[in-house]
Structure 1
Amino acid sequence: MSTAVVLAEGEWRARELAHAERMRAWTVPHQERRARGEKHPVLDFLFTYYSYRPGHLERWQPGPGVVLAGPAGRRFLDRAGYAESAHGVALDPGAFTGRRARTAEFVLRLLSATASRSPRLSCFGLHEWAMVYREPADSVRHAQVPLRLGSADTDAVVESMDIRCGHFDAFRFFTGPARPRNTLAPTRESQVELEQPGCLHANMDLFKWAYKLDPFVPAELVGDCFELAADIRELDMRASPYDLSGYGYSPVRVETAEGRADYARAQAAFTRRAEPLRARLIEVCRTLLDGRFAPLE
């Protein structure tokens, strides 16, 4: 067992405030848009596809092996998964149940397999094009946003290029006619075998795996994964067939050789940025599964 780190009240409260302020740059505008009934084709995804509520995203948590000293720490006892010790309040190892352990085992297996592979940078974001291929204009996912090239020319781009999507949660949104055009046929069962570190969606999903282990992942790591997902989402949609100029986004024209080169460079940069976050999540999973965070005393 490792020795717990005891944080003085002033230290952990400063971290708590800094995390909340950092996340409110995203959560407050989202909540204001929602109050107005306003949809955003790029940013809503971070709070709708991903199911971590804005209030939870703002909420700070210390992660395993950390004791919160001082009387203010007792308010954490109102949350599930915390207990009191001789030196303050900490995560309760007993709250790391069999169900949570199975989640951590899957996340560890998936992220370790992904990290072991070389990145592939040749998908060019065509998954978003495959999601509208031969689809009536009023039936596409973001029907309030026009297609940049129109339906016929969008379909022509799909037909002129190889689609190499290996991410199941992108592939499952392909239209019926687009599915046979994919060089892979990813399934939920083949997810561990197929995910690779160049995939934008695999890197966005680091946020999902971080919050799936709530409250056993430090809030700062959850926040880092969220910000990565937000930045990747912007590229994902700039490279899509949608005309997002009305929202202030310039297109990455992957239908051209220059646009594909721009996309691959950005994809490589996100791959490098995701690598240490994936490694930190792997270490959290190992810590939890090895029982290396200190017991309450």
Structure 2
Amino acid sequence: MSQTGILSEPEWRAREDAHVHRVRAWTEPHRKRRSRGEKHPVLDFLFTYYSFPPARLERWQPGPEVVLAGPGARRFLDRPGYRETADGVVLDISAVPDRLARTARYTLSLLEAVDGRRARVDCFGLHEWAMVYRTTPDQVRHTQVPLRLGHARTDAVVESLDVRCSHFDAFRFFTPEARPLNRFAPTRETQPDLDQPGCLHVGMDLYKHAYKLDPFVPSELLGDCFVLAADIRELDMRASPYDLASYGYSPVPIETAEGRAAYARAQAEFARRAAPLRRRLIDLCRVLLQPADTPR
């Protein structure tokens, strides 16, 4: 991996500080909202659907094959997976737990399958619309914000467009009435066959795949995946049926041809951004799955 080597104490402390400063742009406002009992229909998702605690997201990890030099590095020995060497402190990938190895193996197979596919950008974010299809106002997921078009016109948009959601973790939240309208019937078992690089949820899920490899995922990679997820989430909700103007989000009106074209362009750009992160995660999984006796 590109980060192999020895980091002096000033070097690793600078990287640690940079990571903490970066992610606190999201973690600190989240903590303040939570202390006030406030819900945020866009940003809460990053800490609720994705269940990695903010404190863990802020905690810097160097990743495998990186030696932390200097006396300050000994505090890492209080964390699981670290050991001391003659050069400093390092994560011991020869002792990767079986549970994490199984996660890495599954993640590797899924990401390799997705990486080999062409991005499809023709779903237009209708999954969020299908989640409120034929609901009443008290049944929608975000009851604190109204629907831009109202319930009847929202239902009409779903019925007028081709619903093409291939991602199980979006499809499973469809209303029962919306499920038969979808071109696909994804399941957890078919996820490796259906996930594709253009899907917004597949891009956001790179963050989930990254944090499930903690503590062995380098925090710079984890942070890159988190920022991508945050940016994708914004588009996801701007293209949703919800009126989020009071939160400062302008709509991407996918009920119009212009809105669908804008969504597809943004979707393609996110697929481009996600590709190198996916490959970095693939490389990390391969490192973690090396036999303990393989020279590194």
1:241 maps to which residue?
241
Secondary structure of 2:148 counterpart: coil
Residues of 2 paired with 1:292 and 1:232: CA distance? 37
Deviating more after overlay: 90-99 vs 263-272: 90-99
User: Superposed, which structure 2 residues align to 1:166-205 within 5 Å?
Assistant: 166-205=166-205
Residues of 2 paired with 1:197 and 1:42: CA distance? 22
User: Superposed, which structure 2 residues align to 1:85-124 within 5 Å?
Assistant: 85-124=85-124
Task: Count residues in correspondence.
Answer: 296
The answer to whether the Cα contact below 8 Å between 2:3 and 2:66 also exists between their aligned partners in 1 is no
Amino acid in the other structure paired with 2:58 = E
The answer to whether the Cα contact below 8 Å between 2:20 and 2:59 also exists between their aligned partners in 1 is yes
TM-score by length of 2: 0.97
2:149 maps to which residue?
149
1:75 maps to which residue?
75
Give the structure, 1 or 2, with the largest relative contact order (CA under 8 Å, sep 6 or more).
Answer: 1
Secondary structure of 1:32 counterpart: helix
Task: Sort the Cα spacing of 1:77 and 1:295 in 2 relative to 1 into closer, same or farther, 3 A.
Answer: farther
Per-residue Cα deviation, 1:259-285 (whole angstroms, up to 9, x for no partner) = 000000000000100010001000111
Residues of 2 paired with 1:90 and 1:294: CA distance? 17
Per-residue Cα deviation, 1:232-261 (whole angstroms, up to 9, x for no partner) = 000000000000000000000000000000
Amino acid in the other structure paired with 1:136 = T
Secondary structure of 1:140 counterpart: coil
Per-residue Cα deviation, 1:186-243 (whole angstroms, up to 9, x for no partner) = 0000010100000000000000000000011100000000000000000000000000
The answer to whether the Cα contact below 8 Å between 1:3 and 1:293 also exists between their aligned partners in 2 is no
**Deviation at residue 100 of structure 1 after TM alignment:** 1.1
Secondary structure of 1:6 counterpart: strand
User: Superposed, which structure 2 residues align to 1:6-45 within 5 Å?
Assistant: 6-45=6-45
TM-score by length of 1: 0.96
Amino acid in the other structure paired with 2:151 = S
Secondary structure of 2:61 counterpart: coil
Residues of 2 paired with 1:287 and 1:147: CA distance? 47
Residues of 1 paired with 2:247 and 2:34: CA distance? 16
Identity value in percent: 70
Secondary structure of 1:67 counterpart: strand
Residues of 1 paired with 2:224 and 2:74: CA distance? 26
The answer to whether the Cα contact below 8 Å between 1:2 and 1:65 also exists between their aligned partners in 2 is no
1:287 maps to which residue?
287
**Deviation at residue 77 of structure 1 after TM alignment:** 1.1
Q: Does 1:272 align with 2:272?
A: yes
Residues of 2 paired with 1:237 and 1:283: CA distance? 31
Secondary structure of 1:61 counterpart: coil
Residues of 2 paired with 1:54 and 1:2: CA distance? 26
2:208 maps to which residue?
208
**Deviation at residue 45 of structure 1 after TM alignment:** 0.2
The answer to whether the Cα contact below 8 Å between 1:238 and 1:250 also exists between their aligned partners in 2 is yes
Amino acid in the other structure paired with 1:10 = P
Per-residue Cα deviation, 1:65-120 (whole angstroms, up to 9, x for no partner) = 01111111111111111111121111122430221111101101001100100011
Residues of 2 paired with 1:173 and 1:89: CA distance? 44
Cα RMSD of the aligned pairs, angstroms, is 1.8
Secondary structure of 2:266 counterpart: helix
**Deviation at residue 49 of structure 1 after TM alignment:** 0.3
Shift >4 Å, 4+ stretches: 1-4, 291-296
1:223 maps to which residue?
223
Residues of 2 paired with 1:4 and 1:164: CA distance? 42
Amino acid in the other structure paired with 1:41 = P
Residues of 1 paired with 2:275 and 2:71: CA distance? 38
Residues of 1 paired with 2:200 and 2:293: CA distance? 32
The answer to whether the Cα contact below 8 Å between 2:127 and 2:171 also exists between their aligned partners in 1 is yes
